[in-house]
Copies of this chain bind each other. A is one copy, B any other.
Amino acid sequence: MIRIGIIGYGNLGRGVECAIKQNPDMELAAVFTRRDPQTVKVLTPGATVANVADVADWKDKIDVMIICGGSATDLPKQTPEYAKLFNVVDSFDTHARIPEHFANVDAAAKAAGKVALISCGWDPGMFSLNRLYANCILPEGKDYTFWGKGVSQGHSDAIRRIPGVKNGKQYTIPVEAALEAVRSGSNPELTTRQKHTRECFVVLEEGADAAAVENAIKTMPNYFADYDTTVHFISEEELARDHAGIPHGGFVIRTGTTGWNGENKHVIEYSLKLDSNPEFTSSVIAAYARAVAKLSAEGVSGCKTVFDIAPAYLSPLSGEEMRAHLL
């Protein structure tokens, strides 16, 4: 049994808890929270909820700790800190700061003899893996990544900060024509506007000016100005009824050529269509937690990413079973 700990019990932490239930070789050891543990109700009957301040007491009772904090401020501190005590997995997703985060976590994990896996999930994560594999197979080619249809938390937050907006949700939607152009192997150069559209569902505050809100959204630099954006005004009830989910997904496509004169075209495409972004991320994390436990048992230490983990480590099956049934 792989004993899993969860630090942070939001959408991601709950997702990890659900994923543990689907993996018979894993068990939830404890959930750690900054809140009063008495106030946190978890789904797993009989599971311990503890204060994160007491996490060191669990040093020998947890095989892999999943750190479910945010990338902006939590993980840069938490992952190096907890890697001194535990094998850890995080989902750090600030692409530009990955090298720095890797270095910090690697130093901590190596000093403690622990294995740390950072930036696990689907992007970074499965999308990264597919970029790497496709680049290695087709050295002469071009990469495309599309996201959606899915909820962007950052863009939804940006809408909600506009005066007159009571609530709102934003979907990022890949442009079908752009996807088709890429799949055709024509290697299009695509602008930001050509790749994705943005669709917003907005609940106005009483008496707010709809036209002004719509204009504020559509002209917002970085977030919306470079996109074709649609704004729908709906009621709070409609928002709750039709837009409560956190779907996401996307497409990683590499097109390339082979042959002595590059005469043959190829398209490699990986896509995800996810009802729940955090639960899928959690499911990837659970599989990699198994890998971390195996690597730690082999005496490995230091920081890893999905690039460093042989696929067989993710599976509960033996090598013989994998070769017989999946190869």
As a 0/1 sequence over residues 23 to 44 of chain A, the CB contacts with chain B under 8 angstroms (1 = contact) are 1000000000000000000010
Give the nearest-CB partner of A252 in chain B.
B270
- Give A103 Cβ to nearest chain B Cβ, in Å: 10
Q: Offer 19 A-B interface pairs, CB within 8 angstroms, sorted by A.
A: A17-B260, A18-B260, A19-B258, A98-B323, A99-B320, A132-B315, A132-B326, A136-B287, A136-B315, A137-B284, A137-B287, A183-B273, A258-B280, A266-B274, A266-B275, A266-B276, A267-B272, A307-B311, A307-B312
Main SS of the interface on chain A?
Answer: helix
Do A311 and B22 have beta carbons less than 8 Å apart? no
- Give A153 Cβ to nearest chain B Cβ, in Å: 17
Do A258 and B132 have beta carbons less than 8 Å apart? no
* Number of copies of this chain that the complex holds: 2
Which of A22, A183, A309, A327 has the largest number of chain B CB atoms within 10 A?
A327
Do A95 and B133 have beta carbons less than 8 Å apart? no
A139 at the interface (CB under 8 A from B): yes
**Using a Cβ–Cβ cut-off of 8 Å, how many residues does chain A contribute to the interface with B?**
68
Q: How far is the CA of A264 from the CA of B274 in the complex (A)?
A: 8
As a 0/1 sequence over residues 297 to 327 of chain A, the CB contacts with chain B under 8 angstroms (1 = contact) are 0000000011111111011000110111011
Do B258 and A99 have beta carbons less than 8 Å apart? no
Do B22 and A139 have beta carbons less than 8 Å apart? yes
Which of A128, A283, A306, A311 has the largest number of chain B CB atoms within 10 A?
A311
Give the nearest-CB partner of A273 in chain B.
B267
For A268, list chain B residues within 8 Å (CB).
126, 271-272
A129 at the interface (CB under 8 A from B): yes
Do A327 and B128 have beta carbons less than 8 Å apart? yes
